[in-house]
Amino acid sequence: MNTILKVNGLTKKYGSKTALNNVTFSVEKGKIYGFIGENGAGKTTAIRAITGLSEAPEGTIELFGSGDKKGLINARKKMGCLVEHPILSMNDTAQGNLRMQQLLYGHDDEVKIKKTLERVGLGDVGKKKVKNFSLGMKQRLGIAMAIINDPEILILDEPVNGLDPMGMVAVRELLKSLCNEDGITIVISSHILAELYQLVTDYIIISHGEIIEQISKEELDKKCTSYIVIETEQTEKAIQVLEGCGLKDVELDGETIKIHDNIEQKQVATIMFNAGLILTQISRYEKSLEDHYIELLGRK
The pLDDT-based confidence of 186 (bands split at 50, 70, 90) is very high
pLDDT at 299: 58
pLDDT at 286: 76
Mean pLDDT to the nearest integer, 190-203: 85
pLDDT at 70: 93
CATH of span 3-217: 3.40.50.300
Nearest to 79 by CA among 219, 197, 183, 184: 184
pLDDT at 19: 93
pLDDT at 39: 84
Q: Taking 90 as the threshold, does the pLDDT of residue 145 lie above it?
A: yes
Q: Taking 60 as the threshold, does the pLDDT of residue 233 lie above it?
A: yes
First-residue to last-residue Cα distance in the chain: 30
* Domain coordinates in residue numbering, the chain: 3-217, 224-299
pLDDT at 188: 94
Q: How many residues does the chain have?
A: 300
Sequence-separated contacts (24+) of 119-128 with Cβ below 8 Å = 119/144, 119/147, 120/144, 120/147, 120/174, 121/170, 121/174, 122/94, 125/93, 125/94, 126/93, 127/93, 128/93, 128/94
* Two domains, one topology: 3-217 and 224-299: no
Q: Which CATH superfamily is domain 224-299 in?
A: YebC, transcriptional regulation domain (3.30.70.980)
DSSP the chain: --EEEEEEEEEEEETTEEEEEEEEEEEETT-EEEEE--TTSSHHHHHHHHHTSS--SEEEEEETTB-SHHHHHHHGGGEEEE-SS----TTSBHHHHHHHHHHHTT---HHHHHHHHHHTT-TT-TT-BGGGS-HHHHHHHHHHHHHTT--SEEEEESTTTT--HHHHHHHHHHHHHHHHTT--EEEEEES-HHHHHTT-SEEEEEETTEEEEEEEHHHHHHHT--EEEEEES-HHHHHHHHHHTT---EEEETTEEEE-SS--HHHHHHHHHHTT--EEEEEEE---HHHHHHHHHHH-
Q: Taking 80 as the threshold, does the pLDDT of residue 190 lie above it?
A: yes
Predicted TM-score of the model (pTM): 0.80
Residues of the chain with pLDDT > 90: what percent?
A: 61
Angstrom CA distances, 294 to 194, 195, 218, 290, stand at 13, 16, 19, 6
